[in-house]
Amino acid sequence: DAGVIQSPRHEVTEMGQEVTLRCKPISGHDYLFWYRQTMMRGLELLIYFNNNVPIDDSGMPEDRFSAKMPNASFSTLKIQPSEPRDSAVYFCASRAGTSGSNEQFFGPGTRLTVL
């Protein structure tokens, strides 16, 4: 397995533009997590899905952020409109269900810069 795949790896955009980040979890994993990492706040959970259903989105900073998981092999995180304070590294992670390990597998991240 190729591990968790994220795209793009880097994104530079201007304030006000829409940004879409993509994630392909490890095949067979039931859980998918979106995190944001900054120097100031560390790694923060934004939202997570179980079997494609959003379970907890309380970490999503505001209505400008939305996430979807239309099927078991694909998820998106969208920011519209983007702002400079959204600049961060965004990670997607997946893990197996209750029958598997608690270990989370992280993707390489998307470094977002909003000018």
Partner 1 sequence: SQKIEQNSEALNIQEGKTATLTCNYTNYSPAYLQWYRQDPGRGPVFLLLIRENEKEKRKERLKVTFDTTLKQSLFHITASQPADSATYLCALELNSGNTPLVFGKGTRLSVIA
Give start and end residues of each alpha helix (H) in 3-114.
none
The residue (of 9 and 85) whose beta carbon lies closer to partner 1 is 9
- At closest approach, how far in Å is the CB of 114 from partner 1? 19
The residue (of 6 and 82) whose beta carbon lies closer to partner 1 is 6
- At closest approach, how far in Å is the CB of 68 from partner 1? 18
Burial letters 61-84, b for 16+ CB under 10 A, else e: eeeebebebeebbebebebeebee
25 binds partner 1 (CB under 8 A): no
- Burial class from Cβ neighbours inside 10 Å (0-12, 13-18, 19+) for residue 104 reads middle
103 binds partner 1 (CB under 8 A): yes
33 binds partner 1 (CB under 8 A): yes
113 binds partner 1 (CB under 8 A): no
In contact, 46 and 112? CB cutoff 8 Å = no
Query: DSSP of 63-88, one letter per residue?
Result: TTEEEEEEETTEEEEEESS--GGG-E
Q: Which stretch binds partner 1 (CB under 8 A): 15-23, 31-39, 65-73, 76-84?
A: 31-39
Binding residues vs partner 1 (CB under 8 A): 4, 31, 33, 35, 41-45, 48, 50, 56, 91, 93, 98, 101-109
